[in-house]
Chains A and B, each alone.
Chain A
Amino acid sequence: MISKEKTAELEAIAIKLRKHVVEMTCAAASGHPGGSLSAADIITVLYFHQLRKDPKDPHWAERDRFVMSKGHAAPILYAALAEAGYFPVDYLKTLRRIGSSLQGHVDMLSLPGVEMSTGSLGQGLSAANGMALAYHLDKKAGRIYCLLGDGECQEGQVWEAAMTAAHYKLDNLTAIVDHNKFQIDGPVEKIKSLTPFADKWRAFGWHVLLCDGHKIEAIADALEKAEKTKGRPTMIIADTVKGKGVSFMEASPLDFHGKAPTEEEKDKALEELCRREKK
């Protein structure tokens, strides 16, 4: 169980990361705020509580690895890496600028701390499986984590990877779906239904956990349970809200999938997030 103090600390970090997302995407005048904000609490718990890592030595051989399969949520990962000390926070404003390491979709070669380049959806879970297989072979204690989008789960490769992870009993792998229920063209259920989503993963041989993807304790608890699961991989379906933390984005998630906030919207969003910070 995670302590009250730690929870409060993580909640504060999550707000800070959300502010970065809003500022970065506004400065870049492009990017994906909606799916970054929905993943903010998950990423916060991973990077500031769960992952065994060393920002001073990003290639530490025994580290846990995180694969951002939904590569368009790059801003939230960059915000976390910066706050964790992988690079200066000030660098965040170079998002999507020419020559920057903060590519539109995450690129492992240009930014230490990024474990896999993604952007073409559906590939990250397979790559995470590969890492988990290597860790099993090398008898490493580290774990592999992978974050997917729910719309992403329409990709056939995700289910190929689902079979692989179960077949090879990858209990050193925890996958999380940021289940924010919206994709570019509309609600996921309307575009191409995933229902029954949890049952699909169960049928594929996974240990499935459901949690509130915006409750720090719930996320931490699920990650802890996953770590204790033996003989099969764990999927945490995190119930989230697209644009979470910025009311007008939550209200019209389709407008903020791949569209950055304007200056005015940014100020409004930051004001709201600052208010929450002071509570």
Chain B
Amino acid sequence: MAERKMVATRDAYGLALAEIGKENPNVVVLDADLKVSTKTSGFAQAFPERFFDMGVAEQDMISTAAGLAAAGKIVFASTFAVFGSGRAWDQVRVSVAYTRLNVKIAVTHAGITTGEDGASHQANEDIAIMRALPNMTVIVPSDSVETDKVIREAVKFYGPMYIRLSRPKTPVIHDNPNYEFKIGKGEVMRAGSDATIFACGLMVSLALDAAELLAKEGVKARVVNLHTIKPLDTELIVNCAKETGAVVTAEEHSILGGLGGAVAEVLVENAPVPLARVGIKDTFGESGTPDELLAKYGLTPEEIVHAVRAVIKRKK
């Protein structure tokens, strides 16, 4: 498999934010006592007057972010994914989504690769509960290059956004720095006609690895980076389903309600084809290294390969 550079999406976020701070004096950043982990510390150091540490008070942080946005600021609010989605869900719902205010909830430490901190800190349900909110845009960047683009697009985009980032270093899959990121438009990363793998976040790189493995046995799997879970690129999903006749989803998230759930909804209504969902199987995680956990919870290229073989078998 191709050797890829390893960079954490949270690091790309921190760097992008600090640069944006220079370009746009209207950007403010809030954090809830995690600035070193979420990487907002760079912005905090460069622009202390525009950085607000809200302490361990995520609910207060989200509603405060809404107030700042109501008064005209472009607000980034960061914490761990479990807290930004779960702990403050009602604040996100009423203060941010219902009001359609310009708040970017950029969370890190999403998914099982949060690792050693264990189940309490592993957000495996956040995509589901965030995409259920009206007015909310949900984005899961696949690597550090894409994260940089996402953050810059987020500044230009008016409205609530949930941006899901990871803790560990993950493979950089976008070699071309001029890659054009468009909110709501999936990216076909590998051509193929036998099945389509829709993936988001770090699972895109594992899906590319799986496609490589499948190619060796003569199976041509298409790989699509579905970085935007909401609004979903329905047209692309339907076209891929019709063209390849079988679909696998791969996400570092519960198979309930996330990318797999979203794709399933589209397929059932528009182009029913065999579908298999690779993800966390409705269970809590545990402590361990990210790699150990990915293996134990079935988030591997091999698992995707099995799923692709299975859906192809189910084709009529």
Contacts and interface: CB of A to CB of B under 8 A. Distances in A.
B59 A157 contact: yes
A126 B63 contact: yes
A86 B95 CA distance: 23
A87 B246 CA distance: 56
Contacts of A124: 63
Nearest to B71: A134
Contact of A134 (B61, B73, B90): B73
Nearest to A157: B59
B57 interface: yes
Interface in A151-200: 156-157, 160-161, 163-164, 167-168
A120 B67 contact: no
Given A123-B63, A137-B50, A160-B60, A130 B70 contact: yes
Interface residues of A, number: 35
A116 B59 contact: no
A108 B57 contact: no
B76 to A, nearest CB: 13
Contact of B63 (A115, A130, A163): A130
A240 interface: no
B57 A163 contact: yes
A119 interface: yes
A163 B72 contact: no
Contacts of A204: none
Interface in A48-68: 61, 65, 67
Contacts of B73: 134, 137
B247 interface: no
A61 B73 CA distance: 13
A113 to B, nearest CB: 13
A168 B90 contact: no
A130 B68 contact: yes
19 contacts: A107-B98, A109-B99, A116-B70, A124-B63, A126-B60, A126-B66, A126-B95, A127-B67, A129-B67, A130-B64, A130-B70, A130-B71, A131-B70, A135-B71, A137-B28, A137-B50, A137-B73, A161-B64, A164-B55
